[in-house]
Amino acid sequence: MIKTITCIGAGYVGGPTMAVMALKNPGIKFHIVDINQARIDAWMSDDLPIYEPGLDEVVKQTRGKNLFFSTDVAGAIKEGNMIFISVNTPTKKYGVGKGRAADLKFVELCARQIAQFAEEDKIVVEKSTLPVRTAQSIKKILSSTSNGHSFQVLSNPEFLAEGTAIDDLMKPDRVLIGGDQNEKGQKAISELVNVYSSWVPRENIITTNIWSSELSKLTANAFLAQRISSVNAISALCEATGADVEEVAYAIGTDSRIGPKFLKSSVGFGGSCFQKDILNLVYLCEFFGLHEVARYWEQVVSMNDYQKTRFASKIITTLFNTVSGKKIAFLGWAFKKDTNDTRESAAIYVADQLMNDEADISVYDPQVEEARMYKDMEELETRTMDRNKKQLSMTEDPYEACKDAHAIAVLTEWDEFKDLDWQRIYANMKKPAFLFDGRLILDRKALSDIGFEVYTIGKG
Ligand code: NAD
Ligand code: UDX
């Protein structure tokens, strides 16, 4: 019987996932721990560290009742009967597998800490996205360093998308749980099934062997990203031929075998997952000698890079082949609407390319903080911070961002951009006033009628 659940990692997954689980399981105590004190402080304040619609209410209803945050990793490990590992698994930036393999050092550290501090048998749940067969390494660390306690390792990948995390968690298409195909493994699976069953219909909880579960997560992300790269590849052909990518997407999406979702052409997918997980899949394929399979999936990332470059190049060529000294306004910096997350946001790469061409960029985003934006640019290591600060700025007012700009680029699909006073924006811009819609959210005809020269991805 599970009385206490511990989650290591209070990020975009750990925080919302445990908050919803706590809401739905008032009889279980949830303890979320993180090594990042500032993040834990923010979770305990009124200003949560992540912006996610509906999250505030869930945290308000559970925090201090059966949901607790702290940096006491050892204490939380001792206390939890079931321990979720929900730490980051970024692309490795050094050594073997650099630029492709997932960096599992944080996961390994969690396993070592669990083995060190556990004072009884535990169920350890992989919530982080991990390469297939990681559970084997976790088991090895647990069994070789523990003090005689036994551990069951489950894989329970998370499928939430940022911006809709609470809805996704409340009504998941499915929950996936993988475990060992023996008696102890099955018992551990049923413990976790019980936790989810308090709100997820049993038929939506899929149980598999542990390797299938691990691989399903990478595969799901690869398939989703592949759809975006496929429609983005067609967007380039639309522009060359006069076809309209939205009409094409609608036409193909009505085929029930294809379906309408995830066919929105854009400046390119961002976020912390898609690129990282596909590169990880590519690395795994290479590791197993499956070079053709690796090349196949690698193309999804290459096409995404092409789309971002194509968008930035379009801005430069349209602005008479130079953006040097010209002000370009960016509407949006987050990788998608309804989140403050900027990891791998297309905006970063478009800005970088335009700044290489000496553009001055003024950004407005309703949720992203200026310091985050500069950190994103710093991580690219393209130019000095001084240079970044000279060429890139953020304002809290979209009209200020667009004032005296030669062009506007829409990088995130925030709903509020549709309701801006576009007449006013046009009046205060340099002429000709260019508008590049990288998210297909604006009314192209209405903007053309105002006087803008509009470029929309995938429209001939
Ligand atoms: P994140 O960076 O937002 O959060 C991870 C947290 O783990 C950080 O706060 C970090 O300080 C903490 N941490 C790292 N090592 C620790 C340790 N040893 N002890 C305690 N805390 C530690 O990452 P995230 O976006 O929540 O992603 C976590 C995992 O979930 C990744 O594997 C990711 O691929 C996967 N995932 C993410 C999403 C998403 O939308 N972000 C969706 C599904 C799956
Ligand atoms: C993704 C997966 O959807 C989720 O299941 C997984 O758990 C984590 O990774 P996330 O990255 O948070 O979620 O958001 P998602 O909605 O998938 O969007 C990813 C990127 O693709 C965003 O930049 C988004 O703007 C872009 N996108 C999405 C498109 O360009 N077109 C689409 O049709 C859909």
Q: What is the pLDDT of residue 436?
A: 98
pLDDT tens for 16-66 read 999 999 999 999 999 999 999 999 999 999 999 999 999 999 999 999 999
| Pair 406, 320: CB distance under 8 Å | no
- What is the phi-psi region of residue 155: left when phi exceeds 0, alpha when psi lies from -120 to 50, beta otherwise? beta
Pocket probe mutation, ligand 2, options 50, 261, 273, 304, max atoms within 8 Å of Cβ? 273
Distance CA 301, CA 226 (A): 9
Q: What is the pLDDT of residue 148?
A: 84
Q: What is the pLDDT of residue 282?
A: 97
pLDDT tens for 319-375 read 999 999 999 999 999 999 999 999 999 999 999 999 999 999 999 999 999 999 999
Q: What is the pLDDT of residue 257?
A: 98
State the pairing for strand pair 151-155/327-331. Answer: unpaired
Nearest ligand to the CA of 7 is 1
How many angstroms is it from 187 CA to the middle of ligand 2?
Answer: 34
Tell me if residue 402 is catalytic: no
Q: Quick one: pLDDT band at residue 175, thresholds 50, 70, 90?
A: very high
Q: From the CB of residue 224, how many other CB atoms can be counted at a distance below 10 Å?
A: 18
Mean pLDDT for 380-387 is 96
Mean pLDDT of the chain: 97
Q: What is the pLDDT of residue 353?
A: 98
How many angstroms is it from 161 CA to the middle of ligand 2?
Answer: 6
Q: How far apart are the first and last CA of the chain?
A: 61
Pocket probe mutation, ligand 2, options 175, 228, 265, max atoms within 8 Å of Cβ? 228
7, 110, 273, 402: the active-site residue: 273
Q: What is the pLDDT of residue 460?
A: 79
Where is average pLDDT lowest: 137-141, 224-228, 426-430? 137-141
Q: Quick one: pLDDT band at residue 144, thresholds 50, 70, 90?
A: confident
pLDDT for 261 beyond 90: yes
Q: Give me the phi and psi of 307, to 5 degrees please.
A: -65, -40
pLDDT tens for 346-362 read 999 999 999 999 999 99
Mean pLDDT for 267-282 is 97
Q: Give me the phi and psi of 435, to 5 degrees please.
A: -135, 125
* pLDDT over 70 percentage in the chain: 100
Ligand 2, pocket residues at CB < 6 Å:
158-162, 221, 224, 228, 262-264, 266, 269-271, 273-274, 335-336
pLDDT for 160 beyond 80: yes
Q: What is the pLDDT of residue 169?
A: 98
pLDDT for 178 beyond 90: yes
Tell the residue nearest (CA) to atom 9 of ligand 2: 273
Tell the residue nearest (CA) to atom 41 of ligand 1: 12
Q: What is the pLDDT of residue 56?
A: 98
* pLDDT over 90 percentage in the chain: 98
pTM score of the predicted model: 0.97
C-alpha dihedral, 317 to 323 to 324 to 325, nearest 10° = 160
How many angstroms is it from 373 CA to the middle of ligand 1?
Answer: 20
pLDDT for 170 beyond 90: yes
How many angstroms is it from 330 CA to the middle of ligand 1?
Answer: 28
Distance CA 295, CA 115 (A): 38
pLDDT tens for 65-124 read 999 999 999 999 999 999 999 999 999 999 999 999 999 999 999 999 999 999 999 999
Nearest ligand to the CA of 129 is 1
Ligand 1, pocket residues at CB < 6 Å:
8-14, 33-36, 39, 73, 86-89, 106, 109-110, 128-129, 158, 160, 162, 272-273
How many angstroms is it from 242 CA to the middle of ligand 1?
Answer: 43
Nearest ligand to the CA of 270 is 2
Nearest ligand to the CA of 86 is 1
Which residues have CB under 8 Å from 23's CB, separation 6+?
58, 61, 62
Closest ligand 1 atom to 162 CA = 40
| Pair 29, 1: CB distance under 8 Å | no
Q: Quick one: pLDDT band at residue 164, thresholds 50, 70, 90?
A: very high
